């Protein structure tokens, strides 16, 4: 199995989750990890799984405007002025094969999604519109504050989630049907 993870991270929390997901996927195959600024806009046909994650900004996906850090945020360790996940998804070429599979995650406050919003849900919607099939519902990982840290146990949970994704994709690829299990939300 070959997986590609693309993530956006302003304070490092989402990067930490992306790295943990990658650790969970590694036993199942090769994993390429890209910050959104360096991510290709084309996903090769050899890629079995695309995982996209980002922080929830303004109830949804990060964008160039939401990525602009204030002086206070810069003092807290934020990175400034990069491409957001919204722009990357808009530039992403359509899925390169009939059954291209994906999963999405976000980082956000531990409150109901109707209150906080969810970048993972927005990313999932855009990936489906681009021809991808979701192999798992959008997943949220929780931070204690806007700049973090992550809540206790979230990196372990992300590692387990990556392992589950890898197992789903490798099982689906080795089955005779060749069609991934679709989990929609």
Q: Measuring CA to CA, how many Å separate 160 from each of 9, 21, 25, 153, 163?
A: 20, 7, 9, 11, 5
Would you say residue 81 has pLDDT above 60?
A: no
HSE-up (13 A, CA, CB side) for residue 6: 25
Q: Are 43 and 100 in contact (CB under 8 A)?
A: yes
Alpha-carbon distance 28 to 116, whole Å? 33
Return the higher-pLDDT residue of 130 and 176: 130
Write the pLDDT tens digit of every residue in 132-175.
Answer: 999 999 999 999 976 779 999 999 999 999 999 999 999 877 66
Distance, CA of 49 to CA of 32 (rounded, Å): 10
Would the pTM count as exceeding 0.75?
yes
pLDDT digits (tens, 9 = 90+) for 51-74: 999 998 654 555 555 544 444 444
Rounded CA-CA distance 146/45 in Å is 36
CATH entry 3.40.50.360 includes domain 2-174: yes
Q: Please tell me the total number of residues recorded for the chain in this structure.
A: 185
DSSP for residue 181: P
Beta-bridge partners for 33: 5
| Residue 178 contacts residue 130 (beta carbons within 8 Å) | no
The full DSSP string for 84-131 is: -HHHHHHHPPPPSSSSEEEEEEEEEESS-HHHH--HHHHHHHHHHHTT
Helix (H, G, I), strand (E, B) or coil at 71: helix
């Amino acid at each position: 199995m070959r997986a590609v993870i693309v993530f956006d991270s302003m304070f490092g929390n989402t990067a930490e989750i992306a790295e943990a997901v990658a650790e969970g996927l590694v036993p199942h195959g090769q994993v390429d990890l890209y910050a959104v600024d360096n991510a290709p806009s084309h996903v090769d046909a050899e890629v079995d799984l695309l995982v996209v994650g980002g922080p929830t900004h303004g109830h949804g996906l990060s964008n160039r405007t939401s990525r602009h850090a204030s002086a206070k945020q810069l003092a807290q360790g934020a990175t400034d002025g990069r491409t957001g996940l919204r722009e990357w998804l808009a530039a992403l070429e359509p899925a390169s094969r009939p059954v291209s599979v994906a999963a999405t995650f976000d980082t956000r406050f531990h409150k109901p999604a109707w209150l906080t919003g969810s970048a993972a849900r927005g990313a999932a919607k855009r990936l489906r519109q681009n021809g991808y099939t979701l192999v798992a519902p959008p997943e949220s990982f929780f931070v204690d504050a806007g700049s973090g840290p992550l809540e206790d146990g979230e990196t372990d949970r992300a590692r387990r989630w990556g392992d589950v994704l890898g197992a789903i994709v490798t099982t689906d690829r080795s089955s005779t049907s060749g069609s991934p299990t679709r989990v929609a939300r």
